[in-house]
Structure 1
Amino acid sequence: MLLLTGGSRGDVEPFAALARAAAAHGHSVRLGVPDNSGADLSGIDAVSLRIDFATLAPQGLSALSAARAFTESIRPAMKRFLATAVREALTFAPDLIVYHPKVLSAPLVADALGVPHVLVEMVPSVTSTRAFPAPAISRANLGPLNRATYTAVNSAGALFRRELAAARTLLPRPSTPTPTPPSATLLPISPQLLRRPKDWPATVHLTGAWRDEDSHGHDDPALESFIAGGPFLYAGFGSMVGGDPVGRAVAIIESARTIGCRVVAAEGWGGLRVPGSHRTDDVFVAQTVPHGSVLPRATAAIHHGGAGTVHAVARAGIPSIVVPFLADQPFWGQRVHTLGLGPAPIPRKKLTKTRLDAALARMDSFRERAERTGALVRSERGLEYSIRVLESLVR
């Protein structure tokens, strides 16, 4: 079984959990991953797909910076990434390929090897539905037009037509212009956060989140000492960059102080930057912290609304304040609010101490619902469900 993923930590950790679960069930598993994701890959047969998504994040969110990054950095990196995925598949010769949507060459090489392939949607943005629009395309429910929004998502691969054509040349035999559809689609999403649309095909599975059951410890005595010192907020924006990371950090720390709370600040790829003036005893600063051991002990979490973080906070049973930057994050921020797990999301450009003060003042009103949801999410067995689906395809 070959697993292929791309993206940031939130895209890699679920695949790592699936790799460990599949190996525990007796399968031979290899995991292809991007470089420097920050995910724990211990005990996994992991290979590099020769791409570092952290270096591809445009410095700033302007259209000009994004266009420059696409031409100068992203295209060459994707060419290498898609080709490496093909080479690793041909070398490993798996009986099944499970892949992230970013790995556009995965269906091609699966077809060339004559093995089934399974798509993993970290966000419900590929399989169309009338229930809601594609999360990265529209924030408004368009009713009968919702299905049309998925066309834009599914045509995104056209941006890398040349890079995909280069990957095709590595195949042992010519491939068809259009690959076969996935034998199954897995969404490692909790049904507590998203109800399965009735119009999804039977081959599409909302499995529950993928997480290592024993991934809840850490070996940082300084962090442990800080956590034990009293109430604290978690703040982190994962792989997000752009805007004013110092201003965000200052607003969060000063707002936390108004309610007598300390802060664990995860600076990530640059979404937060705590200045020296605010690196005081009531603030713990790290590039990243283990969600499994930190979040359940936090009072609340302030985060960007990435799918992985939304699930980690929900599992921890604490309220969220979502500060979405882009893509699917407004979708998850609205889900958090609709489900009563936190206040309305605060767009990153509108994040101020005043708005944070108002949101933090309401945290207790969300706590009971968050605790109930956390218990339900923790009872899910998403990995076991997914392994059963995968095993049904290779028997």
Structure 2
Amino acid sequence: MRLILITFGTQGDCRPIVALGLGLREAGHDVLMLGERSAAPLAAGHGLPFAPMAGDIQQTLQPGGALHKLMTEGGNVAEATRAFGKIAEDNTEAWMAQLADAARDADGIVFSGLTAYVALSVGEQLGKPVVGAGMFPISPTREFPSALLPPLRLPGWANRASHGVINFVLWRMFRNATNAARAKLFGVPPRRAMWPEFPSLYAISPHLVPRPRDWHADWLVTGAWTMPPQPDWQPDAPLREFLEAGEPPLYIGFGSMAGFDRRKVADAMLQAVDGRRALFYPGWSGIDVSALPPNFHVIGATPHDWLLPRVAAAIHHGGAGTTHAVAAAGVPSIVLPFAGDQFFWAGRLAALGVAPPHVAGHKIDAARLASMIAFAERAETREQAATLARAMAAERGVDHAVVAIERFCARRGA
């Protein structure tokens, strides 16, 4: 089959789609990925055909960008949807035109995140099978509330209603841009309602989020989609020497997060670490690494499957990809979420006993972070983390997703 994969977002959004694309290619399928431009080097490094899409996710996180307020002040659903609506307004027509052109001879479309309504529109107009790919659960269930809400304890009916409300709000924010693009490109009347149920695959460990019992049969939890191991990868000499020079260090990294109060987070980090050995990955944070003391070692992008088993605990933002990587490595997490589903993952890790209760990234201070580090250093926390990693080790998320995509597309006659 010829398949088009489309996503737009940070590295945490793009890396699982690259991993899925590699799995589909390994299974004999022809794959083209449309994605945010920052994912191009990752795709190219693995020989995955890639075309960049309009928009710059890193710019939206910087001061003045659509997502900046979420990073600096935290955000409610209304603020998030306004930000996402601005991204949709700026890019939907270009995305839809690019996907329609790429998918004319394709056998199916797999979409993720902000590209949902674009992919569903194109699939509808071209008569192509369309499969959703989620990094956090959005399909309605009675078992937990929407992942875009703060962790709440609600009765089952309210949990299910929260998904419907959030999904409707998101559709309302994207609807105008989606309908304008549909009219211009396909000459069709406005769509007023969301699409009915469609197949959805969730790149989620069932040990972190068991598949809800009330889900539709076509909504599947496959396990995380991780990049293939790099058995020949070796650290540079400074990193290797740092790791060999003492006890396993803390890992600190906020991935693609940017635009937050760098000084506040850095000050809390320096005081709370309090002389412990630490690895720091700056990512997109913009934190000034020249001011870090000698107990910190600054690293570049390093394979998580190699690095994380060698650390004592990980301080991170709670993105889905990092959450799964730390859990699979068998080390405790300390989560400072900033926006979106990060609070959901922080709650999941805390409920499993492998992380302390979270503190929002924009509210962190040294005393709170020191207390969280102490929780992660407890023997029982480390034991829980090791137990969780052993359970996750048998998961084959990409393999399960590939089989499901083949089945869904064959069902539509691809």
The answer to whether structure 1 residue 224 and structure 2 residue 240 are counterparts is yes
**In structure 2, what residue type is equivalent to 1:162?**
N
Q: 1:323 to 1:72 in 2, by over 3 A?
A: closer
**Cα distance, 1:183 vs. partner?**
4.0
**In structure 1, what residue type is equivalent to 2:242?**
F
**Cα distance, 1:191 vs. partner?**
0.8
Q: Is the 8 A contact 2:139 2:163 kept in 1?
A: yes
Aligned counterpart for 1:316 among listed residues 318, 325, 329 = 329
**Cα distance, 1:30 vs. partner?**
1.0
Aligned-partner Cα distance in 2 for 1:77–1:219: 39
Alignment partner, residue 54 of structure 2: 50
Q: 1:348 to 1:38 in 2, by over 3 A?
A: farther
Unaligned runs of at least 5 residues, structure 1: none
SS of 1:109 mapped into structure 2: helix
Aligned counterpart for 2:91 among listed residues 36, 52, 77 = 77
The answer to whether structure 1 residue 236 and structure 2 residue 249 are counterparts is no
**In structure 2, what residue type is equivalent to 1:241?**
A
Alignment partner, residue 187 of structure 1: 202
SS of 1:361 mapped into structure 2: helix
Q: Is the 8 A contact 1:96 1:394 kept in 2?
A: yes
SS of 2:20 mapped into structure 1: helix
Alignment partner, residue 111 of structure 2: 99
Aligned counterpart for 1:153 among listed residues 129, 149, 166 = 166
Q: Is the 8 A contact 2:88 2:177 kept in 1?
A: no
SS of 2:200 mapped into structure 1: strand
Alignment partner, residue 142 of structure 1: 154
Structure number with the higher helix fraction is 2
Alignment partner, residue 220 of structure 2: 205
**Cα distance, 1:38 vs. partner?**
7.5
Q: Is the 8 A contact 2:149 2:344 kept in 1?
A: no
Aligned-partner Cα distance in 2 for 1:277–1:165: 50
The answer to whether structure 1 residue 355 and structure 2 residue 371 are counterparts is no
Aligned-partner Cα distance in 1 for 2:258–2:89: 20
Aligned-partner Cα distance in 2 for 1:68–1:106: 21
**In structure 1, what residue type is equivalent to 2:124?**
D
The answer to whether structure 1 residue 24 and structure 2 residue 26 are counterparts is yes
Any idea what the Cα deviations from partners look like across 1:168-188, whole Å, max 9, x if unmatched? 146557478357545411001
**Cα distance, 1:88 vs. partner?**
2.6
SS of 2:280 mapped into structure 1: strand
**Cα distance, 1:116 vs. partner?**
1.1
**Cα distance, 1:370 vs. partner?**
0.6
SS of 1:302 mapped into structure 2: strand
Q: Tell me which moved more, 359-368 or 7-16.
A: 359-368
Unaligned runs of at least 5 residues, structure 2: none
TM-score (norm 2): 0.85
Q: 1:368 to 1:39 in 2, by over 3 A?
A: farther
Aligned counterpart for 2:35 among listed residues 33, 36, 39 = 33
Aligned-partner Cα distance in 2 for 1:68–1:342: 31
The answer to whether structure 1 residue 131 and structure 2 residue 143 are counterparts is yes
Q: Tell me which moved more, 8-17 or 111-120.
A: 111-120
**Cα distance, 1:10 vs. partner?**
0.7
Alignment partner, residue 12 of structure 2: 10
Any idea what the Cα deviations from partners look like across 1:60-111, whole Å, max 9, x if unmatched? 4258998997787663234433443333323xx2111110131121011112
Q: Is the 8 A contact 1:13 1:39 kept in 2?
A: no
The answer to whether structure 1 residue 329 and structure 2 residue 346 are counterparts is no
**Cα distance, 1:329 vs. partner?**
1.4
**In structure 2, what residue type is equivalent to 1:101?**
G
Q: Is the 8 A contact 2:95 2:118 kept in 1?
A: no
Q: Could you say what the CA RMSD is over the residues aligned between the two structures, in angstroms?
A: 2.7
SS of 1:318 mapped into structure 2: coil
**In structure 1, what residue type is equivalent to 2:402?**
I
SS of 1:225 mapped into structure 2: helix
Aligned-partner Cα distance in 2 for 1:84–1:253: 46
Q: Is the 8 A contact 1:111 1:175 kept in 2?
A: no
**In structure 2, what residue type is equivalent to 1:95?**
D
SS of 2:401 mapped into structure 1: helix
**In structure 2, what residue type is equivalent to 1:229?**
A
**In structure 1, what residue type is equivalent to 2:272?**
S
Higher RCO, 1 vs 2 (CA within 8 Å, ≥6 residues apart): 2
Correspondence list, 1:232-271, <5 A: 232-258=249-275, 261-270=276-285
Q: 1:165 to 1:146 in 2, by over 3 A?
A: same
SS of 2:227 mapped into structure 1: coil
Aligned counterpart for 1:108 among listed residues 121, 138, 145 = 121
Alignment partner, residue 383 of structure 1: 398
Alignment partner, residue 298 of structure 1: 311
Q: Is the 8 A contact 1:208 1:381 kept in 2?
A: yes
Alignment partner, residue 277 of structure 1: 291
Aligned-partner Cα distance in 1 for 2:158–2:243: 48
How many residues of Structure 1 are paired with residues of Structure 2 in the alignment? 388
**In structure 1, what residue type is equivalent to 2:350?**
H
**Cα distance, 1:309 vs. partner?**
0.9
**In structure 1, what residue type is equivalent to 2:366?**
K
Q: 1:286 to 1:72 in 2, by over 3 A?
A: farther
**Cα distance, 1:45 vs. partner?**
1.0
**In structure 1, what residue type is equivalent to 2:31?**
V
SS of 1:388 mapped into structure 2: helix
Identity %: 32
Q: 1:371 to 1:69 in 2, by over 3 A?
A: closer
Any idea what the Cα deviations from partners look like across 1:267-311, whole Å, max 9, x if unmatched? 2222x6145332x43222346443222211111000111111110
Aligned-partner Cα distance in 1 for 2:217–2:82: 41
Aligned-partner Cα distance in 2 for 1:242–1:74: 20
**In structure 2, what residue type is equivalent to 1:357?**
A
**In structure 1, what residue type is equivalent to 2:386?**
E
Any idea what the Cα deviations from partners look like across 1:13-66, whole Å, max 9, x if unmatched? 111111001111111111111111487212101111222211112524258998
